[in-house]
């Protein structure tokens, strides 16, 4: 994806979408790393202002924009029905796709780039970092509510926008392949990390096998459950909605729950080099667990709740394994900013896994409260 010029977008892209009013401003917006995001402000003749979020989709990561947008349109339509039935505000409690003037959900330009537009969610804010247990709890409620509202959605009808994204068995196989190929001769220096993964091969099967056997229900999963994908009302501080639905796919609720624990219930940064500073935080684990179960409002099965510690450990192990795989493959997937950056990232995840294993009974006792 090459650079974009605001004037070019204003004259060639914006007019293709059904935006109300005259365009008065097009500016870069937000802090996302995957798509290019702009905010478009339009003014109507009566002086009223309409704002829209215009995005250039990253088709290097998302190979099939049509399938991705079909997922988004169907899921948001389902959510709107739920919100309306509950007397909520459909313009603020979910994403609203603005169609092109040809009634399509996205458009492609002459450069081969793909564009989409959402209605801007007004008077709302998102946060990049967990500042308190209360923030983390509120984000858990948001992701739990997302899960509850979509509990009746036929998850199997969704496309996989990134195939095998949380298929831990497949991730393990790819790790083994990278280890065997060892294309840049790094394996000899990371034997401890390699053994850490190999010793947990059987564990990698737990969620995938339970899904295959029907012991865990197939659900609509968000797959990017970071705090900055939750919008809060900027006056009341209350949760409004979950955004960034690009990775909405069929999967297990334990993926969403576990990935939140992985990045949020820790005392250190994802690439912290001093592992003494990286510890699993049981207080934050409990805050998120409480919020997620409350948000799900009875839609989770008893087995899903009992397996929450497995979800937390699985997503953390899987992420560390992906960082280690990329390190062995000469850093081709995750961007690095220093030598051995992916190795540092891998080590923080494995430290958290080891911490979770040491505190497994405490994690199980927390979860037991919510059954």
Q: What angle do CA 189, 190, 194 make, to 5 degrees?
A: 145
pLDDT tens per residue, range 41-85: 999 999 999 999 999 998 888 889 999 999 999 999 999 999 999
Residues of the chain predicted below pLDDT 70: 1-4, 31-33
Q: Which domains does the chain have, with CATH numbers?
A: 6-122 (3.30.200.20), 133-368 (3.90.1200.10)
User: What is the distance between the alpha carbons of residues 238 and 280, in angstroms, rounded to a whole number?
Assistant: 27
135, HSE (Cβ side, Cα atoms, 13 Å):
17
The beta-strand segments (E) located in 128-286 are 219-221, 230-233, 239-242, 249-251
Q: Helix/strand/coil (H, E, C) string of 130-168?
A: CCCHHHHHHHHHHHHHHHHHCCCCCHHHCCCCCCCCCCH
Give the closest residue to 244 by CA, choosing from 108, 94, 138. Answer: 94
Question: Are 139 and 291 within 8 A, CB to CB?
Answer: yes
User: What is the distance between the alpha carbons of residues 183 and 177, in angstroms, rounded to a whole number?
Assistant: 10
User: What is the distance between the alpha carbons of residues 119 and 47, in angstroms, rounded to a whole number?
Assistant: 18
User: What is the distance between the alpha carbons of residues 298 and 147, in angstroms, rounded to a whole number?
Assistant: 11
pLDDT tens per residue, range 274-333: 999 999 999 999 999 999 999 999 999 999 999 999 999 999 999 999 999 999 999 998
What the block records as the tokens of 294 is 């409350």
User: What is the distance between the alpha carbons of residues 269 and 275, in angstroms, rounded to a whole number?
Assistant: 10
What integer pLDDT is reported at residue 32 of this predicted model? 65
Question: Are 328 and 317 within 8 A, CB to CB?
Answer: no
What integer pLDDT is reported at residue 7 of this predicted model? 87
What integer pLDDT is reported at residue 1 of this predicted model? 46
Question: Are 15 and 6 within 8 A, CB to CB?
Answer: no
Return all residues near 285 (Cβ < 8 A) that are at least 6 apart. Answer: 261, 265, 312, 363, 366
What the block records as the tokens of 181 is 């190929």
What integer pLDDT is reported at residue 130 of this predicted model? 75
User: What is the distance between the alpha carbons of residues 127 and 257, in angstroms, rounded to a whole number?
Assistant: 18
What integer pLDDT is reported at residue 66 of this predicted model? 95
Q: Is 39 in a helix, a strand, or coil?
A: strand
């Amino acid at each position: 994806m090459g650079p974009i010029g605001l004037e070019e977008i204003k004259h060639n892209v914006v007019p293709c979408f059904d935006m109300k009013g005259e365009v008065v401003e097009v500016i870069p917006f937000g802090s996302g790393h995957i798509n290019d995001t702009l905010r478009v402000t339009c003014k109507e003749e009566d002086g009223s202002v309409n704002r829209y979020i215009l995005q250039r989709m990253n088709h290097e990561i998302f190979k099939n924009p049509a399938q991705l947008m079909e997922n988004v349109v169907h899921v948001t339509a389902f959510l709107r029905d739920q919100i309306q039935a509950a007397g909520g505000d459909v313009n603020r409690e979910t994403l609203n796709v603005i169609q092109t003037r040809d009634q399509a959900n996205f458009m492609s330009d002459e450069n081969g780039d793909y564009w989409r537009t959402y209605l801007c969610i007004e008077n709302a804010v998102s946060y990049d970092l967990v500042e308190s247990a209360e923030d983390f709890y509120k984000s858990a409620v948001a992701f739990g509510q997302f899960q509850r509202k979509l509990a009746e959605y036929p998850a199997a009808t969704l496309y996989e926008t990134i195939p095998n994204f949380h298929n831990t068995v497949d991730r393990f196989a790819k790790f083994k392949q990278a280890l065997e190929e060892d294309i840049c001769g790094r394996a000899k220096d990371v034997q401890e990390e390699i053994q850490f993964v190999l010793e947990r091969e059987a564990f990698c099967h737990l969620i995938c096998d339970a899904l295959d056997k029907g012991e865990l229900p197939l659900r609509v999963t968000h797959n990017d459950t970071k705090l900055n994908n939750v919008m809060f009302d900027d006056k009341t501080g209350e949760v409004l909605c979950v955004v960034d639905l690009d990775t909405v796919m069929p999967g297990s609720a334990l993926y969403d729950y576990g990935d939140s624990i992985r990045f949020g219930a820790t005392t250190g940064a994802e690439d912290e080099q001093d592992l003494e500073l990286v510890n699993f935080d049981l207080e934050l684990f409990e805050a998120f667990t409480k919020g997620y179960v409350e948000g799900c409002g009875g839609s989770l099965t008893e087995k899903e709740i009992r397996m929450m510690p497995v979800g937390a450990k699985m997503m953390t192990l899987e992420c560390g394994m992906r960082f280690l795989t990329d390190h062995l493959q000469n850093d081709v997937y995750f961007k690095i900013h220093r030598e051995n950056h992916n190795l540092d990232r891998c080590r923080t995840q494995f430290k958290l896994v080891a911490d979770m294993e040491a505190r497994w009974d405490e994690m199980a006792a927390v979860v037991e409260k919510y059954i």
